[in-house]
A and B are shown apart, each in its own frame.
Chain A
Amino acid sequence: SQTIHQWPATLVQPVGSPLSLECTVEGTSNPNLYWYRQAAGRGLQLLFYSVGIGQISSEVPQNLSASRPQDRQFILSSKKLLLSDSGFYLCAWSGRTVGGYTFGSGTRLTVV
């Protein structure tokens, strides 16, 4: 069966520090991968999605970047965190046909 792993679960980082969040999927190949951010009371904002290795689409301009170095690995990064980067980050995958998303358990990022 397919599983999705996301880590770390919580992270407290100072302003100006770098960020790396990792997401991996098991049990499937060539998934679509997504990074969402959830700020309090603001629903889910799609940050990046990827349909293949090295193929990244950015949905909103921001202080973050994403990479997909392997088929089932999706990384969210920042060179210098801002206070406004705080939030709950969710990774998700979907297949190539209709089926919706499967979400990871999320990372709570607090920038201090």
Chain B
Amino acid sequence: AQSVTQPDIHITVSEGASLELRCNYSYGATPYLFWYVQSPGQGLQLLLKYFSGDTLVQGIKGFEAEFKRSQSSFNLRKPSVHWSDAAEYFCAVGPPYGNKLVFGAGTILRVKS
């Protein structure tokens, strides 16, 4: 069965510090992977997605993620965090067709000044 694990419920980083949010997935075929961000009281916004090709993908707002098949991971990174990055981040995995995505439980990012 498909599943996504985000091991960290909360992460706090200082503004300007680097960030890595972890995501591990279980999927029986080639995974299609996504990262979404949600500001409080808002819907989810797509940050980036991986379908195939280069395992390092660039997204919006300076985020990137690296797909590592051997580790079943798709970790999200940002070199320098800004206070506006404080939000909840969701990793998701899904099939190429049908698009029934399975989401992780989310990681809440807090940024301290």
Q: Does B100 contact A (CB under 8 A)?
A: yes
Is there an interface contact between B46 and A100, defined as CB atoms closer than 8 Å? yes
Best-buried of A34, A41, A51, A99 by chain B (most CB within 10 Å): A99
Q: Lowest 9 A-B CB distances belong to which pairs?
A: A43-B105, A103-B43, A94-B99, A44-B103, A103-B44, A105-B43, A98-B96, A100-B34, A106-B43
Interface of B is mostly: loop
Q: How large, as a class, is the contact surface on chain B?
A: 20 to 34
When the two chains form the complex, which single residue of B96, B97, B99, B106 contacts A101, counting CB atoms closer than 8 Å? Answer: B99
Q: Does B12 contact A (CB under 8 A)?
A: no
Q: Does B32 contact A (CB under 8 A)?
A: yes
CB distance from A73 to the nearest CB of B (A): 18
Contact with B along A40-76 (1 / 0, CB 8 A): 0111101001010000000000000000000000000
